[in-house]
Amino acid sequence: MKPIIRVMNVGKQYRIGSPQSSYLTLRESLTSRAAAPFRWLAGKRSSSDETFWALQEISFDVYPGEVVGIIGRNGAGKSTLLKLLSRITEPTTGKIELYGRIGSLLEVGTGFHPELSGRENIYLNGAILGMTRAEIAEKFDEIVAFAEMEKFVDTPVKHYSSGMYLRLAFAVAAHLEPEILIVDEVLAVGDVRFQRKCLDKMEGVSKEGRTVLFVSHNMPAVTRLCQRAILLDHGKLVDDDSAPRVVSSYLSSAAADSAGVREWPDLARSPGDEVVRLRAVRVRSEEGTITEAVDIRKPFLIEIEYDILRPGKRLSPVIICNNDEGICVFSSGGTSPDFLEIQDVGYTGRSVSTCRIPGDLLTEGALTVTVSINTIMDGNFTHALERDALRFQVVDSLNENSARGLYGGPMLGVVRPLLTWTNKPTRTSSDFLSPSADSGTAAR
């Protein structure tokens, strides 16, 4: 069988440099050119010549009708790969061949203009995504119905709520019908009900036999939608197999090297922005020792250490714990009034937030912690985010004090609370042996 996408030994090289300094002013360019001979005399090479490979030696084929998930940590090269496939930037080496019309959705609502009405934006956005005018006209009613906004279609988009905006934007995107569809995280929009609808639509798309490449951090979505997954790590393709297998191997390796602690010794390369940067995440036992295995019965601590670089923001650290199936077991943020009160917003420097997780709550197995630091008071904003920062095990030492009691077999559920059971005799055996008793109930 012939592949519809052939990626052959593709690599992409970037120059190192913070995004802010990537465009120069003419003066900088002139002075650096003028200074170049002197630097050369001094034996130094221009620092802007330093490069790194965002992707290296990537090769894979995708066959028609396949739905392929692309997964990996932040910075693994997923977005770069999508940008290459959707022709936004050119590869430095290698070659990609596409045997079909490609449509890419790196964002919903690309090119939406706030002054234009919903109707006008559907046409504009459709054209930008590569639909012809006839195609858009044909699907127009369907798009409007999908977005559930028949009433507002002639209202300027600037008057829409953010939910309506996203619904309309996704509705246009969902009606794109190229042979190859490239999707990046766009499912993370709107309310839960609409997300569900989008997932169903995606499933429909793949059932029609179109080829889909899907980048996501949402592991249940990847296992649900994709047969196959490709795992990238540091710009290299490290795994390419059935989706459930790659997802579980990714989740188990994601932070396997961390041993209960993850640190970023270099401030400049740590996750975060100009307001706050993450420096360390640790799992500690109740006694304070760093550990990667916690006792299912005992409380333990998740500790986030961060540097506040700019004062004046009410920062709230958040942890999200996922299990190996990618299910979010719980999330928690330092948002209680008590917590915010002790936070001095004028403070800059190192800060440590600790979350205490009670014993007898989680089930056995591995948990992966995603950490973020957000502003929640003046508009939601995520300053620092590290997905799958750390991994730890919840271990049941199988003494009869835990929720499993004396039972040794597998137990279902994403949590394992120690619940109170009571028993009280309601009928003596002589009662249910007598003919007057309701035998149906008694037999249970």
Q: Which of residues 197-256 bind other proteins (CB under 8 A)?
A: 203, 206, 209, 220, 223-227, 242-244
The nearest distance, CB 268 to other proteins, in angstroms, is: 20
Counting contacts by CB under 8 A, is residue 29 touching other proteins?
A: yes
- The smaller minimum CB distance to other proteins, of residues 276 and 329, is found at 329
Q: Do 56 and 11 meet the contact criterion of CB atoms below 8 Å apart?
A: yes
Residues between 320 and 379 that touch other proteins (CB under 8 A): 325, 327
Closest CA to 147 of 128, 129, 122, 125: 122
Query: Beta 93-98 vs 102-105: how paired, if at all?
Result: unpaired
Residue 90 pairs in a beta bridge with: none
Counting contacts by CB under 8 A, is residue 132 touching other proteins?
A: yes
- The smaller minimum CB distance to other proteins, of residues 17 and 312, is found at 17
Q: Say how far apart CA 398 and CA 87 lie, in whole Å.
A: 55
Residues between 294 and 323 that touch other proteins (CB under 8 A): none
State phi, psi for 57 to the nearest 5 degrees: 50, 50
- The smaller minimum CB distance to other proteins, of residues 65 and 359, is found at 65
Site string for other proteins, 158-197 (x = CB under 8 A): ---------------------x------------------
Residue 331 pairs in a beta bridge with: 320
Q: Which of 188, 309, 355, 414 is the binder for other proteins (CB under 8 A)?
A: 414
Residues between 79 and 108 that touch other proteins (CB under 8 A): 83-102, 104, 106-107
- The smaller minimum CB distance to other proteins, of residues 136 and 302, is found at 136
Helix (H, G, I), strand (E, B) or coil at 261: strand
Residues between 421 and 440 that touch other proteins (CB under 8 A): none
Number of residues that bind other proteins (CB under 8 A): 72
| Max Cα–Cα distance, the chain, nearest Å | 108
The nearest distance, CB 325 to other proteins, in angstroms, is: 6
- The smaller minimum CB distance to other proteins, of residues 113 and 310, is found at 113
Amino acid at 419: L
Counting contacts by CB under 8 A, is residue 412 touching other proteins?
A: yes
* Burial class of residue 360, CB neighbours in 10 A (0-12, 13-18, 19+): middle
Q: Do 315 and 374 meet the contact criterion of CB atoms below 8 Å apart?
A: yes
Closest CA to 325 of 233, 244, 229: 244
Counting contacts by CB under 8 A, is residue 63 touching other proteins?
A: yes
**Would the CA dihedral through 147, 212, 207, 127 be positive or negative?**
positive
Q: Which of 110, 253, 285, 401 is the binder for other proteins (CB under 8 A)?
A: 110
